[in-house]
Amino acid sequence: MNNTDMHKIANIARLRLLEQSEGIKNRIHWGSSFSLMEIVTVLFTSVCDDTNDVFILSKGHGAPGVYSILYEIGKIDKEIWNSYGESGSPLSELMEFNPDLGFTCSGGSLGLGLSYGEGIALRKKKKNEEGRVYVLLGDGEVNEGSVWEAIASAAHYKLDNLNLIIDRNRLQSDGSTDVILKLPDFKSCLEIFGWIVYETDGHDCKKLLKIFEKSPIEGKPTAIICNTVKGKGVSFMEDNPIWHDNSMSQSEFDIARKELTDRVANQ
């Protein structure tokens, strides 16, 4: 799939998610869902093999964004998509384990997805199974000690079939990641642990795909730091932590819909 098509899918998915929210009082984890759209679009349209590869959304509150992409590319049907927000729907606010839909891991407890993905990658290595494991984390989630335990052990076990993707939007629910807990440079830290690390614009599908297509380095897990904007695509949400999880007024909804409609029309 070409770069223009992937960008269009990401923006249509933003608009579709906005319109979906009307039935649940316009409340969704907007910031996290909108920041990951291009990353997930590239993964599901051009990278992941449904048969052998595994995707894990560790930042479970970004689930609505993933659902929207999956619906747009035909991997979730209309009936399931329309059930979002209803009691008993498989599309919960925080992603829940559902192998029928390809949801490999629940994502409500932050910091666990990388350990879970590491276990799958280790099993694949021991059983000589094909495929890679892709785990998407939020940068605030990297505060969790369990993430660093997994980073250390993945390098120890030489899991070159494991890809860590960090959605680096520099905000978490209570504010700036640097203010809440300033960590050393992710790239340097991961390299010290023995990872191969790339850094790129997380909203540029062409750049993302180029990195995902790189051959793994034998014996070394791979990390991709994706610099993103929380709330990407809606002016009043971008880089504003109050839109981590919030309800829109009707006037805000109308502004967001116009902006996203214009973005889609101009592609």
Phi, psi of 171 (to 5 degrees): -135, 145
> What is the rounded CA–CA span in Å between residue 193 and residue 142?
15
d(CA 131, CA 196): 18
pLDDT over threshold 90, residue 111: yes
pTM for this predicted structure: 0.96
Q: Side chain identity at 69, as an amino acid letter?
A: I
Has residue 25 got a pLDDT over 80?
A: no
Looking at residue 23, its pLDDT comes to: 75
SS3 of residue 174 by DSSP:
coil
Rounded Cα distance, 175 and 240, in Å: 8
Q: Where are the domains of the chain?
A: 3-265
Q: Mind listing the pLDDT tens digit for each residue in 76-105?
A: 999 999 999 888 999 999 999 999 999 999
Percent of the chain past pLDDT 70, that is, above it, reads: 100
The 10 Å Cβ neighbour count of residue 218 is 7
pLDDT in tens, 177-225: 999 999 999 999 999 999 999 999 999 999 999 999 999 999 999 999 9
CB 113 within 8 A of CB 56: yes
Is residue 108's pLDDT more than 80?
A: no
Question: What CA–CA distance (Å, rounded) separates 183 from 208?
Answer: 24
Query: Which residues fall within 8 angstroms of residue 121, CB to CB, at 6 or more apart?
Result: 132, 133, 154, 159, 161, 162, 221
Residue 26 pLDDT level (bands cut at 50, 70, 90): confident
| Each residue's pLDDT tens digit, 32-90 | 999 999 999 999 999 999 999 999 999 999 999 999 999 999 999 999 999 998 889 99
User: What does the pLDDT read at residue 174?
Assistant: 87
Which CATH fold would you assign to the domain 3-265? Rossmann fold (3.40.50)
